[in-house]
Amino acid sequence: MKGLMVKDLLLMKDQWKSTLIVLMMGFFMSFSFDSSVTIMYMTMIGCMLALGTLAYDEFDNGYQFLFTLPVSRRTYVIEKFAVVICWGICAMAAGFLMSALTGFLKNGVLQSFSLENCVGVLFSASILASIMIPIRIKYGSENSKIVIYVMFGIIAAAVLAFSKLKAAMNFANTVGQWLSGVSDTVIALTLIAVIILGITVSMFISFRIIEKKEY
């Protein structure tokens, strides 16, 4: 595991130019947009950079070599989730820092952020990781793009259908009334439970995929 972590960190270190651009973009965004947009942007881009290590591993039959090292396939999957989550959290922290700093520069006060804000961002990042890791392992970086386009197409269609249904059933009001009765802490804890469940399920799916693959 340690060797894989070191490899991924060194690969990401070599992407310092991309990281710098992301940081600068985030910084400029924090002046123009709401802090939640900046934080979400930073977290998602951070996760995407970490997910990029899967493409590096694939390059030049890399998997074939990787699995001749003292690394089991399960360890590889666990390490990928760990790297993406850690990198996402680091990027989120950078997003918070930037938003706080620009808030201070603009208004002269340090902006505070709620736990719910953090959990919401983490929830989105975990969905991204839980979907992308098994798909990338199964289809490879190139083919997974097609799968992801198709999947997002299906999600967009589902959202459209749901929004029409919602309008017809006055769903927003019903859900809004129900949610207003639930405390923010309960919602945050529920989301954390969903994040853990989603990652666990995705990890087991990834185990099955990678153990069936031949390199």
Partner 1 sequence: MIEIKDLRKEYPGFTLQCSLAVPAGTITGLIGQNGAGKSTLFKSLLRLIRINSGKVTILGKDLSEISENDMRMIGSVMAESGFSGYLTLRSIRRIMKSFYPAFREDWFTAQYRKFGLPDDRQIREFSTGMKAKLKVLCALSYGAKLLILDEPTSGLDVAAREDVLDLLRAYMKEDEERSILISSHISKDLETLCDDFYMIHEGQIILHEETDRLLSDYAMLKVTPEVYEKLDKQYILRTVQESYGYSCLTNQREYYQENYPEIVVEKIGIDEVVLHVIRGGKAQ
Question: Shortest Cβ distance from residue 141 to partner 1 (Å)?
Answer: 13
Tokens of 11: 């690969």
Residue 153 found at the interface with partner 1 (CB under 8 A): no
CB of 11 to partner 1, least distance (A): 6
Instruction: Quote helix, strand, coil % in the chain, to nearest 5.
Output: 90, 0, 10
61 vs 180, beta carbon nearer partner 1: 61
The amino acid that residue 20 corresponds to is L
Choose one: 7-15, 131-139, 161-169, 171-179; the region binding partner 1 (CB under 8 A).
Answer: 7-15
Q: Out of 57, 91, 132, 203, name the contact with partner 1 by CB under 8 A.
A: 57
Check residue 86 for interaction with partner 1 (CB under 8 A): no
- Exposed (0-12), middle (13-18) or buried (19+): which is 155, by Cβ within 10 Å? exposed
Which of these ranges, 1-9, 84-92, 120-128, 180-188, lies near partner 1 under the rule CB under 8 A? 1-9
| Window of 30-38, 63-71, 87-95, 99-107 that interacts with partner 1 by CB under 8 A | 63-71
Number of residues that bind partner 1 (CB under 8 A): 26
Q: Which of 103, 129, 124, 119 is nearest to 33 (CA)?
A: 103
Q: Which positions ≥6 away from 56 have C-beta within 8 Å?
A: 11, 62
Q: In 3D, which of 78, 90, 91 has the Cα closest to residue 4? A: 78
Q: Interacting stretch for partner 1, rule CB under 8 A, among 52-60, 101-109, 149-157, 189-197?
A: 52-60
| Residue 201 CB neighbour total at 10 angstroms | 12
Task: Read off the tokens for 84.
Answer: 């993406």
Among 23, 25, 37, 71, binds partner 1 (CB under 8 A): 71
The nearest distance, CB 12 to partner 1, in angstroms, is 10
- The reply to whether 208 sits near partner 1 by the rule CB under 8 A is no
Q: Cα separation of 208 and 193, whole Å?
A: 23
Instruction: Report the distance separating Cα 46 and Cα 41, nearest Å.
Output: 8
Which residue's CB is nearer to partner 1, number 11 or number 23?
A: 11
Residues binding partner 1 (CB under 8 A): 2-3, 5-7, 10-11, 14, 56-57, 59-65, 67-72, 75, 214-215
